[in-house]
Amino acid sequence: MHFPSVKEVFVRPDFRYLIIGGLSFVLDFALLALLHEYNGIPAGFAAGMAFAGSALFNYTLQKAFSFGSRGAHGRALPRYLALLTGNLLFTSLVVEGAVLLGFPWAVGKIIATSIVTVGNFFLYKIWVFASAAPDGDLARS
């Protein structure tokens, strides 16, 4: 049985994607705590600021580190923002649905985050950070 080396694991885009995603979550959480708990900024506004900061961090590192995209920001950034908007709407609907069904909001958040995490990996790879490809290729859509 072959166990991959640390180097073999670290060069995999899926592993790097999960690491950056985890760091983005930690940054989002830490910024929210810093802004709200320690600086008295209202929770809703602080959450929005923290989310925006972590999204910028996530975009920058996913583009360069996880997917090695050298494509123009003019192509990738609008796609990232469109996906981010869709993720936000989807997450809100799933969390609200969980609550309406009698589950704690955290159950909805975990379900939504799990689905978004898996889906985003593939969408980042084939659409958001994909290199320009010949006509007809899925990556060019």
- Pick 94 or 8 by higher pLDDT: 94
Most confident of 2-16, 19-33, 36-50: 19-33
The pLDDT assigned to 139 comes to 42
For residues 17 and 121, the answer to whether their CB atoms sit within 8 Å is yes
- pTM for the model: 0.77
What are the CA-CA distances from residue 40 to residues 31, 51, 84 (Å)?
Answer: 12, 17, 27
- Structure confidence by residue, pLDDT tens digits, 55-98: 999 999 999 989 888 888 999 999 999 999 999 899 889 988 99
pLDDT bracket for residue 12 (50, 70, 90) = confident
Give the separation between CA 2 and CA 51, rounded to whole angstroms.
40
